[in-house]
Amino acid sequence: MRERKRLEALVRDDDELVRRTGDIDAYFELAREGEDVLPDLEKSIQELGTFTEDLEARTMLSGEADALNAIVTVHPGAGGTESQDWAQMLLRMYLRWAEQQGFKTEMNDYQDGEEAGIKSATFTIVGEYAFGLLAGESGVHRLVRISPFDSAKRRHTSFASVYVSPEIDETIHVDLKPEDMRVDTYRSGGKGGQHVNTTDSAVRITHLPTGIVVQCQNERSQHKNRDKAMKMLRSRLYEFELEKKRADAKKLEDSKLDINFGSQIRSYVLQPYRMAKDHRTKVEVGDVDKVLDGYLEPFLRGYLLARRRGTAVVAEAGDDLDE
């Protein structure tokens, strides 16, 4: 059924491409006859350009896991409240992007910060090619702004890491041995009152050979939390094994583990100027507020094009927008 749905979408895209180019041909014919169709013609050409860009991006999503759902984890870097607030901003950005794409989202784990922001969050984006589109978002994201938490109104730099893995389905087998896992249960955090959880329903699973840790606490049932955590662990292990086979795995892992200066894949500058810049592909967007509201298409498409050319690289140490 999934393959049929994918093929039907390809047929619809082809029909839509024929229809749009036919409309443009018709406008040219009307223009030759003296009709005033210039505004409609310009609009149709612009819409065709956007449509073909989307098609081009989808043709680059041919990996085994590209069509799967995406599991996204956001962690703040060092810096306390400032970084935790930045992590929450990133979480909102990806949730808004998913909403704009018509994708569904499911929150798996969410931990509030002490004063503001989040300590961590893991959620699933359900939609065709969600992982393929977001695969390039894994890494460290850097924010430069006047801190709302600093009474002296000084400029601060904050870091947060994003990790994206595919949600493995039944078509991909991941072998998990019980002796390789440690399962811990604990009481879920809540807002108190009638929402307080009085049972140890939250589940944390540690994969001992790799050190990968996943946890889920959003369901009230321990069994449901365990099932979700197992699915997350399979996805993380699948992506872990894929990365080991990639030629640039060492650089990619370094960028994820070192959440500080010189390791960022993208910078979002709100002060002294305003710009979002990807350090791997050199894609820049001046409207950084629009980016933080979920406008990620230039960065996602830029990464896919660079990956196809083999030119997508991790940011070199010292690559700083302030320079």
Question: In the structure, what pLDDT confidence band is assigned to residue 318 with cuts at 50, 70 and 90?
Answer: very low
Cα separation, 242 vs 89, in Å, equals: 29
**pLDDT reported for residue 191:** 52
In sequence order, the 6+-apart residues with CB closer than 8 A to the CB of 6 are: 67, 128
**pLDDT reported for residue 55:** 82
Digit-coded pLDDT (tens) for 41-82: 999 999 998 888 778 877 788 777 888 899 999 999 877 889
Please indicate whether residue 246 or residue 2 has the higher confidence score (pLDDT).
2
**pLDDT reported for residue 9:** 82
Digit-coded pLDDT (tens) for 133-181: 999 999 999 999 998 887 788 888 999 999 998 887 656 667 788 888 8
Give whole-number Cα distances, 252 to 11, 109, 133, 135, 142, in Å. Answer: 36, 24, 17, 12, 16
Question: In the structure, what pLDDT confidence band is assigned to residue 189 with cuts at 50, 70 and 90?
Answer: low
**pLDDT reported for residue 313:** 46
Token pair of 291, please?
Answer: 């980016």
Question: In the structure, what pLDDT confidence band is assigned to residue 253 with cuts at 50, 70 and 90?
Answer: very low
Strand (E) or helix (H) holding 35? none
- Whole-number average pLDDT of the chain: 83
Three-state DSSP state, 292? helix
**Model pTM?**
0.68
Digit-coded pLDDT (tens) for 90-131: 999 999 999 999 999 999 989 988 888 999 999 999 998 899
**pLDDT reported for residue 42:** 93
Of the given ranges (90-104, 212-226, 245-259, 268-282), which has the lowest mean pLDDT? 245-259
Nearest to 85 by CA among 139, 134, 148, 138: 148
Give whole-number Cα distances, 320 to 81, 197, 257, in Å. Answer: 23, 45, 19
